[in-house]
Amino acid sequence: MARAFVFPGQGSQDVGMGKALADAFPSARAVFEEVDDALGEKLSALIWEGPKETLTLTENAQPALMAVSMAVVRALEAERGVSLGKTVSFVAGHSLGEYSALAAAGAFSLGDAARLLRLRGRAMQKAVPVGLGGMAALLGVGVDVAEKVAAEAAQGDVCDVANDNEPTQVVLSGHKTAIDRVAEIGKAHGVRRAVPLPVSAPFHCALMQPAADAMAEALASVKVNTPVVPVVANVLAAPLSDPEEIKKRLIEQVTQRVRWRECVAAMSALGVTDFYEIGAGKVLAGLVKRTAPTANAVSIGLPTDIDAALAALTS
C-alpha cells in the first residue's frame, strides 16, 4: 500500500475556506499569516470574508488555494505528528496545485510559493485580452476524441487540449472563436455535452506563452530544493525530484496540457492505492475515482477530516 497527497487547482475556491483550520490549529493560522506577509496584504481576509468575485480572480484564487492546502499540511505535521516524507510516496497537483504540492514537499518556501502564484495568476490573466479566449469542457469522450474536435475547431485559431481530467472529461482552451465552434463539431464525434467554462482567460494553451515567459524569469531567481518525495509533474505524468527540471516543467505547464488522468494512472501503476486530496473542495477525489476505480480517494479540508483520516495516515 502506498499513498499520495494531491492538491486542487482553480475552481475549488470558496469564501470561508480554511477558516475552521485556522481557528482550530495555530500552525494553520500561521500559514495564512505568512502568506499575508509574503504578499503584503490581507489575503486571509478575502479568503474568509469575500467577496467571492474578488476571491475568484485568478491572481487571488491561486495563492489562496495554495494557502488552504498548506494549512492542512501544517496542521497534519505540527498538530497531529504526520511526516509527509514518511507518510506518502508521491505528491501531485492540478495546475496551480503543483505549486502547492512542491511547497508541501519542501521544494518551495511558503512565501516563494505565494509570490510565484500571485505573479502566475496576473501573468495568465494579462496574456490574452478579456473576451478573446475561452475554455470548454467536453463530457462523455476521452482525450483522443477531444484532440480531433480541437483540430477541427481551430480553423486557423488556437484550440488546444488544456486538461485531460479523467477518461470522460477533457477541457479545450484557445481563441473564443474556436471554442464557440466546439459544441457543434463535437456532436459528430459523440461528445455528450460541451460546457463553456466561466473563466477569465484561456489557460494551458499556446496563447499563454507571455505568461510562460514571465514564469521563466520569476523562477530563475527562486531557490528550488529537492522535494522530500517526488512530485508527479502535470506535463510529464511522471515523478520528478531534480530542482532544475522542476523549474523547466513548471514553465512548460503554463502553455501545455494538465495530464491529470495520466498522473493518476502513473501513480496507480507505481503502487499508490490511497489518494488524499489536500485542501479546498472535493474535485480531485472524484477525478481519481473515475480514473482509478479501485483506488481509495479521501478529501481533507476541515479539522474533522484531519481527525477522520489520522488513523489511516499513521498506520
CATH of the domain at 159: 3.30.70.250
**Burial per residue of 202-237, b for 16 or more beta-carbon CB atoms within 10 angstroms, e otherwise:** bbbbebbeebbebbeebbeeeebeebbbbbbbbbbb
Final residue of a domain: which of 181, 199, 217? 199
Q: Are residues 141 and 265 in the same domain?
A: no
Active-site residue, selected from the candidate residues 12, 27, 44, 95 = 95
Question: What's the rounded Cα separation, in Å, for the pair 119 and 170?
Answer: 27
Closest CA to 88 of 239, 274, 248: 274
Instruction: Calculate the alpha carbon distances from 235 to 185, 239, 246 in Å.
Output: 27, 11, 11
Question: What's the rounded Cα separation, in Å, for the pair 82 and 74?
Answer: 9
Q: Are residues 183 and 220 in the same domain?
A: no
Instruction: Calculate the alpha carbon distances from 11 to 29, 100, 281, 283 in Å.
Output: 23, 15, 9, 9
Instruction: Classify 231 as helix, strand or coil.
Output: strand
Q: Are residues 52 and 189 in the same domain?
A: no
User: Which CATH number does the domain housing residue 43 bear?
Assistant: 3.40.366.10
Answer whether 295's CB lies under 8 Å from 288's CB.
yes
The radius of gyration computed from the CA coordinates of the chain, to the nearest angstrom, equals 19
Q: Are residues 97 and 137 in the same domain?
A: no
- Can you give the pLDDT at residue 91? 98
Count: domains in the chain: 2
**Burial per residue of 265-292, b for 16 or more beta-carbon CB atoms within 10 angstroms, e otherwise:** ebbbeeebebbbbbbbbebbbbbbbbbb
- Can you give the pLDDT at residue 281? 96
204 an active-site residue?
yes
Instruction: Calculate the alpha carbon distances from 134 to 129, 146, 179, 182 in Å.
Output: 11, 16, 6, 11
Final residue of a domain: which of 177, 199, 221? 199
Instruction: Classify 298 as helix, strand or coil.
Output: strand
Q: Are residues 226 and 150 in the same domain?
A: no
Residue numbers of the domain that contains 188: 133-199
Q: Are residues 122 and 141 in the same domain?
A: no
Active-site residue, selected from the candidate residues 44, 204, 268, 299 = 204
Final residue of a domain: which of 141, 173, 199? 199
Q: Are residues 118 and 247 in the same domain?
A: yes
Question: What's the rounded Cα separation, in Å, for the pair 179 and 137?
Answer: 10
- Can you give the pLDDT at residue 314? 87
Q: Are residues 214 and 304 in the same domain?
A: yes
Q: Are residues 123 and 137 in the same domain?
A: no
95 an active-site residue?
yes
Sequential pLDDT tens for the chain (315 residues): 899 999 999 999 999 999 999 999 999 999 999 999 999 999 999 999 999 999 999 999 999 999 999 999 999 999 999 999 999 999 999 999 999 999 999 999 999 999 999 999 999 999 999 899 999 999 999 999 999 999 999 999 999 999 999 999 999 999 999 999 999 999 999 999 999 998 889 999 999 999 999 999 999 999 999 999 999 999 999 999 999 999 999 999 999 999 999 999 999 999 999 999 999 999 999 999 999 999 999 999 999 999 999 989 988
* DSSP string for residues in 199-222: -SS--SSGGGHHHHHHHHHHHHTS
Q: Are residues 252 and 185 in the same domain?
A: no
- Can you give the pLDDT at residue 199? 86
- Whether the pTM exceeds 0.85: the reply is yes
- Can you give the pLDDT at residue 287? 98
CA 125, 127, 132, 134 torsion-angle sign: negative
Q: Are residues 101 and 51 in the same domain?
A: yes
- Can you give the pLDDT at residue 200? 84
- Can you give the pLDDT at residue 130? 87
Q: Are residues 123 and 176 in the same domain?
A: no
